[in-house]
Amino acid sequence: MTRSFYPPQRTLMGPGPSDVSPRVLGALSRPTIGHLDPVFIRLMDEIKALLQFALQTENELTLPVSAPGSAGMETCFVNLVCPGDKVIVCQNGVFGGRMRENVERCGGIAVMVEDAWGEPVDPEKVRAAFAAHPDAAILAFVHAETSTGVRSDAATLCAIARENGALSIVDCVTSLGGIEVSVDLWGADAVYSGTQKCLSCVPGISPVTFSPMAVERIAARQHKVQSWFLDMQLVMGYWGGSAKRAYHHTAPVNNLYALHESLVMLEEEGLEAAFARHALNHRALVAGLEAMGLSMAVAAEHRLVQLNSVVIPEGVDDAAVRAALLNDFDLEIGAGLGALAGKTWRIGLMGHASCERNVMHCLNALEAVLAGQGARVASGLAAARAAYER
């Protein structure tokens, strides 16, 4: 007989999932109701309004896709890309590569704009790509690259797309709730995110929003969206504004309780306060890490405050350090991905997990583990403490 599963209580400071607030876990486990229950329909309306707030948009087509961020990405591509469409895809980490896969699986043509892993997307390269491909219909890029910890300039990149008559698809999986995501101000046309990063909700849901121009493009499609499950024309029938909601698929009811609660918490704190909190804890962590003698992998002006890439010091055993943090301190930090595997650690300070306690816990644990492995490190605690002095 298999026994019930009781997870250890970790502190989640990797690239996500991040620590989930007890309030959100409490909401998650409330009694399930039907996905067509009038009470649930009202909850759906509240979630839409809260997502519009979080994404800073008035887009009517704003809703949570019933699957993880990867499906949110796919939702944007399958609805906007038709076979033969040319899409300029910026790659400066793992997720740009995944965008390319999406374009090609839709029968589109991906024009790649490459930047080094650890660098932001270079707007000049994007301008050059549009000059070389004036028929490009879409620009796709990642706002907050989870694989490297780099922020790109979304406002500038969306403006370049608009100037060239193209729509923009923006990956905001790791940015939403941690740093500014201003969909309308940017003029972004399709944005997807995740719940398990700076919203500190459980993984499994992907908020998306489409601008009126993106909706027009979807409505004008001659070629059916290749995914039935992610076809926005059908999903809208369930999530749309009309009084009569048509069954499309069974919504993940309890996950939506949790998403609602996490968005209520964000509304209570306020966006600016949440961003300031993320920035403060980032400054403290970086001060601590640098005092320890470690170096950040990303230049200061491009760093994500919610995901901190640290260079693994020469001679230190990456996997052994992460295992010791997990086993001795119940602390999860992230490994490097792709080109940065074995070269960086990724320390998340996302949502509920972006707090002074976690910063100090991480610095303390890292110091102990590195010293235990014979590395020469100073203490970072005092420097981090100083960053919090009012």
Report yes or no: 348 and 146 within 8 Å, Cβ to Cβ: no
| Contact residue for its own copies among 165, 249, 299, 320 (CB under 8 A) | 249
Chain centroid, CA 74 distance in Å: 14
Least gap, CB of 346 to its own copies (angstroms):
12
Question: Considering the rule CB under 8 A, would residue 194 count as an interface residue with its own copies?
Answer: yes
Among residues 307, 284, 292, 296, the alpha carbon closest in space to that of 367 is found at 292
Q: Using an 8 Å Cβ cutoff, are 24 and 256 in contact? A: no
Decide whether 273 or 299 has the Cβ nearer to its own copies: 273
Using CB under 8 A, pick the residue from 126, 263, 287, 350 that binds its own copies.
Answer: 263
| Given 54, 55, 61, 71, the residue binding its own copies (CB under 8 A) | 71
Residue 72: how many CA atoms within 13 Å on its side-chain side? 29
Only one of the segments 152-160, 164-172, 176-184, 226-234 lies at the binding site for its own copies (rule: CB under 8 A); that segment is: 226-234
Stretch (H or E) spanning 94: helix 94-105
Number of residues that bind its own copies (CB under 8 A): 80
* Cα separation, 189 vs 27, whole angstroms: 32
Which residue bears the tokens 């698809």? 169
Q: Is 9 in the site for its own copies (CB under 8 A)?
A: yes
156 or 250: whose CB is closer to its own copies?
250
Closest CA to 287 of 385, 179, 150: 385
Please pick, from the candidates 59, 60, 227, 280, the single residue that binds its own copies as defined by CB under 8 A: 227
Token pair belonging to 346: 């990724």
- Kindly list the distances between the CA atom of residue 290 and the CA atoms of 7, 213, 322, 381, in Å, as whole numbers in the listed order: 33, 46, 19, 11
Q: Give the x/- contact pattern for its own copies in 26-65, rule: CB under 8 A.
A: xxxxxxxxxx-xxxx--x--x--xx---------------
Q: Is 228 in the site for its own copies (CB under 8 A)?
A: yes
Q: Annotate 346-375 with three-state secondary structure.
A: EEECCHHHCCHHHHHHHHHHHHHHHHHCCC
Which pairing describes strands 167-171 and 150-151: parallel, antiparallel, or unpaired? unpaired
Least spacing, CB of residue 218 vs its own copies, in Å = 15
Q: Which of 128, 216, 224, 241 binds its own copies (CB under 8 A)?
A: 224
Which of 116, 135, 155, 250 is the binder for its own copies (CB under 8 A)?
Answer: 250
Measure the CA–CA gap between 348 and 332, rounded to whole angstroms: 9
CB 162 within 8 A of CB 214: no
| Residues in 116-175 that interact with its own copies by CB under 8 A | none
> Does residue 68 bind its own copies (CB under 8 A)?
yes
Give the interface segment with its own copies, choosing from 18-26, 131-139, 149-157, 308-316 (CB under 8 A): 18-26
Candidate residues 187, 203, 237, 240; the one interacting with its own copies per rule CB under 8 A:
203
Q: Which is nearer to its own copies, 27 or 166 (CB)?
A: 27
Amino acid at residue number 262: S
Two tokens, residue 157: 């990149």
Binding segment toward its own copies, per CB under 8 A, in 71-79, 179-187, 311-319, 356-364: 71-79
Cβ of residue 74: shortest distance to its own copies, in angstroms?
5
